């Protein structure tokens, strides 16, 4: 399974980068190959200062070795060997009318002393963070997620949509980071789903990413915007940074386990503002967004 999934994310990284370069029309991804001293490595690809994307990354990694102490505590186990691989992406567009997007698909194995697999699971998801809310964009993104889920189990979309709303919640702000999508974790073999079934589901979601995001970018990338729109975008980006550094398990895990810092912090936007006690104008488009972030919506 690990070879199958790693081959899949290598190919998916190529597809997604090609699709995003076509949308941007100007910038190309810079590739950075790296090795992890403890075992494994990755292929980081970053796009910057494009016509559409101010900054973004589409990264893959496959790491293995002794389970770090932080992970031993997380999984309540002693010393063990592990393997983990995944693709993680974040894209911060220049135009405030285009939403930021995040996605991640990952696979994990843990072994006993004889090298037998004792635990294995998939995780992942994709979610949208707009700065100005276009209802039709939210519906399109969620409908694409639902279509991918429905091919495998009609219960998946409502379950993983709810988990996404719960996970990407900035508890210290009492608001969601964005308008959600899908979030699933610890997807293990059970009575109804084999690991191959889970692979088929996760790859279905991964394959749907460009379809979920690119039409929104194409529709919004040339819309006019003001300095005030841009300021609002940068203030909201501050909330994005807060979530990633305060709450996000993947970021915190990477920082605690000697992860590659450039790849971990790739998710942070280049231009951000923190304005003291900022509140949008009553009745404004900015306030409409906040109202939705405080009370997640069922879009489809």
Q: Residue 266 maps to which CATH number?
A: 3.40.1500.10
Confirm whether 247 is a catalytic residue: no
Q: Active-site residue among 102, 152, 271, 278?
A: 102
pLDDT at 231 over 90: yes
Residue 106 token pair: 């990952």
* Burial degree of 163 (CB within 10 A; 0-12, 13-18, 19+): middle
pLDDT at 51: 98
**Sign of the four-CA dihedral 64, 69, 73, 77:** positive
Band (130; pLDDT cuts 50, 70, 90): very high
For the chain, how many structural domains are there in total? 1
Evaluate whether residue 38 is within a structural domain: yes
Evaluate whether residue 28 is within a structural domain: yes
Distance CA 137, CA 38 (A): 43
Evaluate whether residue 166 is within a structural domain: yes
Evaluate whether residue 32 is within a structural domain: yes
Helix (H) or strand (E) holding 141: helix 135-150
Evaluate whether residue 299 is within a structural domain: no
Residue 291 token pair: 């109202």
Average pLDDT taken over every residue of the chain: 95
Give me the percent of the chain exceeding a pLDDT of 90: 87
Q: What is the average per-residue pLDDT within 128-136? A: 98
pLDDT at 255: 84
Evaluate whether residue 15 is within a structural domain: yes
Q: Of 10, 55, 62, which is closest to residue 30 (Cα–Cα)?
A: 55
Distance CA 88, CA 33 (A): 15
Domain that holds residue 65: 2-294
Asked whether 95 and 230 are in contact (CB, 8 A), the reply is: no
Q: What is the average per-residue pLDDT within 165-192? A: 97
Band (136; pLDDT cuts 50, 70, 90): very high
β-pairing verdict for 100-111 and 81-93: antiparallel
Evaluate whether residue 300 is within a structural domain: no
Evaluate whether residue 48 is within a structural domain: yes
Residue 68 token pair: 């770090």
């Amino acid at each position: 399974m690990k070879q199958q999934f790693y081959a899949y994310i290598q190919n998916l990284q190529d597809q997604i980068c090609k699709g995003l370069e076509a949308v941007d029309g100007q910038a190309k991804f810079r590739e950075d190959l790296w090795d992890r001293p403890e075992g494994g490595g990755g292929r980081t690809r970053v796009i910057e200062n494009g016509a559409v994307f101010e900054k973004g990354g589409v990264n893959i990694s496959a790491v293995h070795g002794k389970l770090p102490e932080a992970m031993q505590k997380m999984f309540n186990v002693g010393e063990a060997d592990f393997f983990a691989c995944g693709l993680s992406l974040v894209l911060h567009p220049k135009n405030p009318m285009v939403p930021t997007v995040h996605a991640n698909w990952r696979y994990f194995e843990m072994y006993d002393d004889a090298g037998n697999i004792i635990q294995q699971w998939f995780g992942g998801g994709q979610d949208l963070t707009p700065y100005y809310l276009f209802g039709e964009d939210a519906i399109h993104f969620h409908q694409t997620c639902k279509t991918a889920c429905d091919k495998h189990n009609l219960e998946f979309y409502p379950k993983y949509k709810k988990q996404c709303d719960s996970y990407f919640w900035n508890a210290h702000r009492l608001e969601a980071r964005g308008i959600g999508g899908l979030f699933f974790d610890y997807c293990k073999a059970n009575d109804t789903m084999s690991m191959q079934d889970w692979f088929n589901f996760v790859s279905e979601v991964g394959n749907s990413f460009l379809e979920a995001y690119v039409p929104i970018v194409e529709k919004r990338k040339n819309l006019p915007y003001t300095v005030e729109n841009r300021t609002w975008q940068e203030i909201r980006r501050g909330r994005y940074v807060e979530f990633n550094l305060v709450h996000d398990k993947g970021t915190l895990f990477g920082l605690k386990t000697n992860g590659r810092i450039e790849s971990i912090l790739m998710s942070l936007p280049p231009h951000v503002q923190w304005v003291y006690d900022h509140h949008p104008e009553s009745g404004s488009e900015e306030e409409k967004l906040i109202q939705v972030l405080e009370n997640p919506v069922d879009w489809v």
